[in-house]
Structures are given as structure tokens and as C-alpha cells.
Chain A
Amino acid sequence: MTTTPETLKRTPLHDVHVALGAKMVPFAGFEMPVTYPSGINSEHRAVREDVGVFDVSHMGEFEITGPDRNAFVQRVTCNDVSALSPGQAQYSGILTKDGTFVDDCLVYRFEDKLMMVVNASNIQKDWDHILDQKAGANVRLRDISDETALLAVQGPKAEALVGQLTSIGVAMVPYYHFAQGKVAGVQCFISRTGYTGEDGFELYCRAADVEKLWHALVGAGRAEPVGLGARDTLRLEAGLPLYGNDIDDTTTPYEAGLAFIVKLEKGAPFTGLEALKHQKLDGVKRRLIGFKVTEPKAIARHDYPVFLDGTQVDVVRSGTVTPTVNAAIGTTYLPADRARAGTKIEIDIRGKMVTAETVKLPFVPHRTKK
């Protein structure tokens, strides 16, 4: 995405990040902190070993109200909304007619509404795509992205940190459930979700209140601020897909190893259903798989060509070096019959062919609370 500095949006915490010495970069139309002075490695470790806080207020939120809200979200997403009780959330996909991703998203079910959380880079595209399917549905859609802030508190000490700032019994909130209440005096949706593979919470609050919440969470003896750089290394270690890299409008949930979000039998038609039925019957031709580079001093980055038996089969979808073990890892799509652990591939790293070996995702086991 190309943006000029004038058009970049800022989260409500922009000045707080600058004051902390963060390196700000353009991301999805926003000016976002990629690292703070402690650096990616240290921020990454803080989340794996202690607790870190991410400002991810750039994420998009849509609120869906009205009598047909559940049926409508059933139509525009591939997971089963009827399986959700109020207070529950699910990971899902917004798909094209071809069954490929318009975006991946979270769906939250409240007593009187639903909330969809989408990628910042896709807010407008998702909104248009969803609105196009509104005909006949008695629902009210509201893009609440600008008025909604989001902090992700992630790491083994997240529960202790959030718990001491609220009277809500957060220890009793199961994975992919949420509660509503005050954290540090700020009204929040306290969601036990995240994008790191660690236990933790995502706290949604009003944009005007987020600075108070941030200062209650961040500081000595509390959480370390963590930027988008470590968010990417953490999510890739955890095998969690990134839209635009691992999934996009040419890839389907089956190909991406996300069959668990496709509910063909949910009893309601949804966009992409027919295409995915066929793909399930026929079997996928390719699958997303992880790899580790087997040569030292070689990092396979996004878009580098990937070869199997001497023929280019794909590009590196996501690629980085994991701060924890200092190994170069990544993801790519391979023909389905070769997309299993132990396949040797080659990657063209700026003109030099290096070898890599496929491994099952995730690279680091999840430690989320079930």
C-alpha cells in the first residue's frame, strides 16, 4: 500500500509512542510503532516470558445490530455464528464467491449485537463487500473503527496484570470468550484472544479512554510496550496467518490449513460455500506449510521465490528470523502431496539458492488457556 505521510492516520496513542522513542512506520494507512528502543528481540522475549502490550487500535471494528444480525453475519462469514453464545468469540473468514479470502476476522456475539474485527488494511474493502450483501436483511451496520481503541496484553503474566486492574474475574474468562467491565477505570470488552500464541487479552475501549488504560498497563514491573515488528515474529512462530502474506484473495481456508473455520453444514448459505464444497470434494491442490532454512546466515523474506525439484512453485509468504532461537523460518504453499514435514525446498535469496526443510506449523507450541 502506498501512502503519503499526509494521508496516514494515527492511533489515539501516537504521541505516547513517540514519547517512548518508538520507531514509527507506515502500516495499512496508519503511522504505527514498529519497535521501541528496547528492540524487536527484547520485545519478543517480553511476550514469551513475561507480558507485553501492543497498541493495535488500527484494527477495524464493525458493529451489527437489528433482528437479522445473526443471519446476516452467517451469510458474510464462513464460520458458524449460531455456535456462539453471547460472550463468545470466533475466528472466521470473509470470503469471495470463489471461496478465497476477502479478509480474516473475529466475530464477537453480544446479547444485542455482533462485532466483527477486521484487518486495518482491509477496512474499506470489507465494508463494501459486506454492504453489497445487505439487501433484504433488517440490520444496521456501523463502522466503529475510529471510535474504538484496542490494546493486546499478551504473555504468561497477562492474567495477573489485567486481573489486578479490574474487579472482573478475568481468570474465569475462557479462551475465545469475553467479559464487559472496567479495567483501570476504563470500560472495556475484555476478550481472551490474541495473535501471539501466548495467553492474554485484547481490551477494546473508547478511543478517548485508551491513554488511561495504556498508562495503567505499561511501566516498570508491569508490561513492556511491543511494536508491530515483534507482533509479526510472534504470530509467525505461532503459525498464525497474516492477511496479504499467508492468506489473500487467491487462497482459500482449506489451502491455508484453516478448515476449522469453514462450516459447510452450518445450515445457512454463505458467500464462498459452493466453491468450498467443490474444493472439499476435489481436494486442495496446494497447502500452506512452514519451513526452516537449513543453512546458516540466510533469511528467507516475503516474496523470495521458492523451488521444489528445480521448479518454482511459490514465493515465501511470510519469512523472518525467530528472535528466540535465531533460526530463519517462514511459510509457503506447496503442492498438496508434498506439503508435509520433511520436504526439501530451495529458496532464491537475492540470487543465491539456499536449502530449507518443511516443518509443521506452528513453530512454537501455543500456550493459550483452553
Chain B
Amino acid sequence: MSSIPEELRYTKDHEWVRESDGPQVVEVGITDYAQGELGDVVFVELPKASVAFKQRDVFGTIEAVKAVSELYSPVAGTILEINKALEQDPALVNRDPYGKGWMVKVKIKDPRELEGLLRADAYAKHVGE
């Protein structure tokens, strides 16, 4: 059983979204389930700050020893900050996917998109747990 915190929102592509620093800013990462499926993360390729994405655009790539996976933007918005710690220690995604393994902070364009994301119970069902 992977960890699926109640307070977060999720996508079917296994990203999580946390509201933080005010209502217009969210933190994004990949779920515990996703890191478990990928295995040891080797690097995370993230966009530069101020780049804008539409919902479901590819905003980055995550490579593990045996697998590579795209990262999909859960909401439309502009990158405010990326987690620079992942440059030195990409395995943070494995060790602490909902904490130190966060990937980007996004200034969201349309807060209503958050309502369309999965709640913890729906995501748990999605991954069969």
C-alpha cells in the first residue's frame, strides 16, 4: 500500500497538487505509488521558472534506472519555482515524494481546475488500493 495523503489532490497521471503560499499557488510532485513503480530515480528534468503550461502539458521528464516517464502539468499556470535540491539528490523523489521530493511551484491560471482533480479516495481507487 502506498501513501496517499488526504489533504492533496491528484491526477490520473500520478501527480499530486498541494495548495500553498496562498490560494493561487500550488506545489506539484509525483505520488508515492508513482515513485514505487518507477524505482530508483536517476534525474528529474524540470522547466525554467516563468514558463507557462496548459493543463496536461508535459512540463518535465523523470528518469529512473529502468524507466522514463513524462510529467504532466495538473493545472494551467506559470512555473514560479523549481525544486533545485533534486538536481543534487534526485532520490528525494523516492524517499519523500510528498515532502522534499516536490518538483515545481505553479501560479495557477484558473483555480476552478483544482476542483476537477481527484480526491485521495478517488486516486486510491484509480491505482487499485
Interface of A toward B, CB cutoff 8 Å:
23, 34-35, 39-41, 229, 232-233, 297, 299, 301, 320-321, 323, 326, 350
Contacts and interface: CB of A to CB of B under 8 A. Distances in A.
B116 interface: no
A240 to B, nearest CB: 17
B66 A299 contact: no
Given A23-B39, A39-B40, A39-B94, A301 B68 contact: yes
A35 to B, nearest CB: 6
B66 A326 contact: no
Interface residues of B, number: 13
Given A34-B39, A35-B39, A41-B65, 17 more contacts: A23-B36, A23-B39, A34-B66, A40-B39, A40-B40, A229-B65, A232-B66, A297-B43, A297-B45, A299-B42, A299-B68, A301-B68, A321-B63, A323-B40, A323-B65, A350-B61, A350-B68
Contacts of B42: 299, 321, 326
A34 B45 CA distance: 25
Nearest to A21: B36
A283 B121 CA distance: 64
A323 B42 CA distance: 9
Contacts of B63: 297, 299, 321
B39 A229 contact: yes
Contacts of B66: 34-35, 40, 229, 232, 320
A25 to B, nearest CB: 9
B111 to A, nearest CB: 33
A321 B68 contact: no
Nearest to A228: B66
B101 to A, nearest CB: 15
A229 to B, nearest CB: 5
Contacts of B40: 39-41, 323
22 contacts: A23-B36, A23-B39, A34-B66, A35-B66, A39-B39, A39-B40, A40-B65, A40-B66, A41-B65, A229-B39, A229-B66, A297-B43, A297-B45, A297-B63, A299-B42, A301-B68, A320-B65, A320-B66, A321-B42, A321-B63, A321-B65, A350-B68
Contacts of B68: 299, 301, 350
Contacts of A40: 39-40, 65-66
Interface in B48-89: 61, 63, 65-66, 68
Nearest to B37: A23
A7 B43 CA distance: 35
Nearest to B65: A40
B30 to A, nearest CB: 16
A195 to B, nearest CB: 17
Interface in B3-48: 36-37, 39-40, 42-43, 45
A300 to B, nearest CB: 11
Contacts of B65: 40-41, 229, 233, 320-321, 323
Residue among A23, A41, A326 having the largest count of chain B Cβ atoms under 10 Å: A41
Nearest to A43: B40
Contacts of B43: 297
A232 B65 CA distance: 10
B19 to A, nearest CB: 30
A321 B40 CA distance: 11
A328 B24 CA distance: 39
The 9 residue pairs across chains A and B that have the minimum distance between CB atoms: A40-B65, A39-B40, A41-B40, A297-B43, A321-B42, A40-B40, A229-B66, A299-B63, A35-B39
